[in-house]
Amino acid sequence: MTEKTGETASFYARKAASYAADTGAYPASPNLQRFAARLPAGARILELGCGSGRESAWMLAQGLDVHPTDGIAEMATEASVRLGIPVSVLPFDQIEAVAAYDGVWANACLLHVPRVDLPDILQRIRRAMTPGAVFYASYKAGGGEGTDRFGRYFNYPDEGFLRTAYGPDWTELLVEAAEGSGYDRVPTPWLHVFAQA
């Protein structure tokens, strides 16, 4: 863990219970519905950075075979309580699966990966996917890395940076810009990325 990401991890560890409570009520987003609509029935899904488990809960209710994970042990515990199933602690740089998942859902979590490390993490995710699998991730957009008022690190990419970081090993790479917000309730530009293996 780097100095850049250490305070981010500490934030989520300290705030796990309150963060999970604050992000608990959640109707399925249009992007989550789009993701699920592209999957076969009963698809095997890896969720990265599951936080409170709210999106895993929705996917499980749709009959998907979801494997929720989080890089922070305290967050994984909160999600496990919510979901009633084990939630694994899985730092992004420890993804070792090969051709195991029909979909990977990584909402608002890879945005904390240091820019220099993001290409390797994305390649790990790509290796974990079956042919034709779908991968969704979202990022707070910007022109360079930085921190927010909570001390959390963000990579703040633009579209060009993301396309380079993802690399050429995708049959589809769709990057969409939208306005939104987050835990800090601050209006924020976002980039939503759908990629297909």
pLDDT number for residue 7? 84
pLDDT number for residue 6? 83
Asked if pLDDT for residue 126 goes beyond 70, the answer is: yes
Average pLDDT rounded to a whole number, residues 57-80: 95
| pLDDT, mean over the chain | 92
pLDDT number for residue 24? 54
Q: Are 54 and 87 in contact, with CB atoms under 8 Å apart?
A: no
* pTM for the full predicted model: 0.94
* Interior/surface letters 94-107, b for 16+ CB within 10 angstroms, e for the rest: ebeeeebbbbbbbb
- Among 6-15, 18-27, 38-47, 59-68, the range scoring the smallest mean pLDDT is 18-27
The CA-CA-CA angle for residues 61, 104, 17, to 5°, reads 65
Structure tokens at 44: 């095997």
The CA-CA-CA angle for residues 82, 28, 91, to 5°, reads 55
* Helix H or strand E segment including 4: helix 3-14
- Homologous superfamily of domain range 3-196: Vaccinia Virus protein VP39 (3.40.50.150)
Average pLDDT rounded to a whole number, residues 106-135: 97
Asked if pLDDT for residue 23 goes beyond 70, the answer is: no
Q: Cα–Cα distance between 103 and 49 in angstroms, integer?
A: 14
* Helix H or strand E segment including 130: strand 129-140
- Could you give the dihedral angle defined by the CA atoms of residues 104, 20, 24 and 112, in that order, rounded to the nearest 10 degrees? -40
* Helix H or strand E segment including 161: helix 159-166
pLDDT number for residue 134? 98
Asked if pLDDT for residue 4 goes beyond 80, the answer is: no
In the chain, the percentage of residues whose pLDDT exceeds 70 is: 93
- Between residues 190 and 16, which one has the greater pLDDT? 190
pLDDT number for residue 13? 84
Write the CB contacts of 93 (distance below 8 Å, at least 6 apart in sequence).
117, 120, 121, 124
Asked if pLDDT for residue 101 goes beyond 90, the answer is: yes
Average pLDDT rounded to a whole number, residues 6-34: 78
Residue ranges covered by each domain of the chain? 3-196
pLDDT number for residue 17? 73
pLDDT number for residue 155? 97
Q: Cα–Cα distance between 178 and 83 in angstroms, integer?
A: 30
